[in-house]
Amino acid sequence: LTPGNYPDEDPLSGLEQTLEQLQYGEDLGFDSAWVRQRHLEPGISSASAFLAAATQRTSRIELGTAVIPIGYESPYRLAEDLATVDVLSRGRLNIGVSAGRPLHAELIAPLVFDGDWTGYDFSHDRVLRFADNLRGAYLGDEQTLIKTPFGPQRPRLQPYARGLIDRIWYG
């Protein structure tokens, strides 16, 4: 488990070292590597963006988030991002999420949410909506189609990452 720390004046060096650490762990035979996501700290602020890069540096080691505080996240957009990471990793992603009022809400929430953020739902229901989005259910009824460059499609979260719903844990 790593927070991916870096010097404030040189984030690239720390993030690159963390990617190299994950590669090295895979070379040593480790089974998994986990990253911690935090905001306002010199470390990994987006587990999905960082792990997308890690999928291109590793091929076997499982990758995990420990944990993503879901309070600042859109349950739908986070599901899209993590499904993309899971597809890129060929099914090696494990997702840890937590609910509750986000850390440092008094500083960041006005930058994230429109209007009075104190009324937002930060309960476990937010985690359940996130999980429901990963299930891959089609939106609308069987007749609901959207226009795409590939022709009419039944709409659902894309990419659909089969099995990812079974690799979620709560922290």
Domain boundaries defined on the chain:
11-170
pLDDT tens-digit readout, 36-59: 999 999 999 999 999 999 999 999
167 is written with which tokens?
A: 């690799």
pLDDT for the residue numbered 6: 96
Assigned superfamily of 11-170:
Luciferase-like domain (3.20.20.30)
pTM for the complete prediction? 0.94
How far are the Cα atoms of 4, 13, 26, 128, 171 from residue 38, in angstroms, in the given order? 10, 18, 24, 21, 14
d(CA 23, CA 59): 9
pLDDT tens-digit readout, 112-132: 999 999 999 999 999 999 999
Q: What average pLDDT does the segment 98-114 reach?
A: 93
What is the dihedral sign for C-alpha 138, 140, 141, 147? negative
How far are the Cα atoms of 35, 138, 154 from residue 52, in angstroms, in the given order? 12, 25, 26
CA 51 to chain CA mean position, Å: 8
Residue 171 has pLDDT above 90, yes or no: no
For the chain, give the percent of residues with pLDDT over 70.
Answer: 100
